[in-house]
């Protein structure tokens, strides 16, 4: 089970457990009114209002939120989150102190039976304090994207092969889909999702996450100013049933 902490209650660790479905915002769909730039600007404004000072080290925290259909965010607290908390306690403290003050989160426009969607972004608190902050800051846009050995087409080819080998008897997807996934700091791909999606595709997504574990780790992690960071990536996949 994965814990999700409602952000407004983070300081008190008033948590509840939930089995999350692995549903992410699709490419081009905003999780925050005004987009990531406005989100970072609002975080900066909260840090100024609370007179938060720079962390002693340039810490980094990869934020994973689940935003429900009422537009309320909760911080996912899984094994990786705990590792980040240990490595970056100051950054985590600032996540707690700032994100619960933001009120422009947007619910998924295409909610069916899902109880929310996941949203991820890199958080470098020192970039958002004092003279370090620049208007229009967006860590995602300043990130060197993750890369697959042989290029995106090689990744598509291997993925389609795995689906045909292990899932073709169960599913017959046809058309163009967006496949999203996270590549962590070590180049490991996980948390696959597919769009368009419906309640009936939940098992398909689960099985994709299972078969992709057979893929060799050929990813090079995304970089932000030379530092490896986690990133959310989107690749379009075309399925055909001939």
Query: What share of the chain in percent tops pLDDT 70?
Result: 86
Check: CB of residue 73 under 8 Å from CB of residue 99.
Answer: yes
pLDDT digit string, tens, across residues 144-193: 999 999 999 999 999 988 988 888 888 877 788 899 999 999 999 999 99
3-state SS assignment for residue 43:
helix
pLDDT digit string, tens, across residues 193-242: 988 876 667 888 889 999 998 888 789 999 999 999 999 999 998 877 66
- Euclidean distance between CA atoms 62 and 189, whole angstroms: 15
Residue 113's pLDDT band (cuts 50, 70, 90): very low
Task: Mention every residue, 6+ apart, whose C-beta is less than 8 A from residue 235.
Answer: 152, 155, 156, 178, 179, 180, 181
- Helical pair 35-49 and 89-99, crossing angle rounded to 10 deg: 100
Which of 207, 109, 120, 104 shows the shortest CA–CA distance to 164?
207
pLDDT at 8 over 50: no
């Amino acid at each position: 089970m994965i814990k999700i902490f409602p952000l407004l209650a983070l300081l008190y660790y008033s948590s509840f457990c939930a089995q999350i479905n692995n549903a992410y915002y699709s490419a081009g769909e905003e999780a925050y009114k005004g987009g990531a730039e406005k989100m970072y600007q609002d975080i900066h404004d909260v840090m100024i209002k609370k007179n938060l000072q720079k962390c002693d080290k340039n810490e980094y925290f990869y934020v994973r939120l689940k935003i429900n259909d009422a537009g309320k965010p909760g911080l996912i607290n899984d094994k990786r989150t705990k590792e980040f908390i240990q490595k970056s306690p100051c950054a985590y403290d600032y996540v707690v102190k700032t994100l619960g003050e933001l009120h422009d989160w947007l619910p998924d426009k295409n909610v069916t039976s899902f109880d929310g969607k996941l949203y991820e972004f890199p958080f470098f608190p020192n970039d958002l304090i004092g003279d370090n902050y620049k208007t229009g800051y967006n860590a995602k846009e300043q990130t060197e994207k993750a890369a697959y050995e042989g290029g995106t087409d090689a990744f598509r080819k291997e993925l389609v092969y795995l689906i045909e080998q292990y899932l073709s008897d169960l599913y017959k997807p046809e058309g163009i889909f967006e496949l999203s996934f996270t590549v962590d700091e070590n180049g490991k791909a996980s948390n696959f999702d597919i769009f368009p999606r419906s309640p009936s595709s939940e098992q398909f997504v689960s099985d994709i996450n299972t078969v992709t574990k057979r893929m060799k780790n050929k990813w090079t992690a995304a970089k932000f100013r030379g530092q490896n960071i986690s990133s959310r990536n989107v690749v379009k996949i075309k399925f055909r049933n001939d």
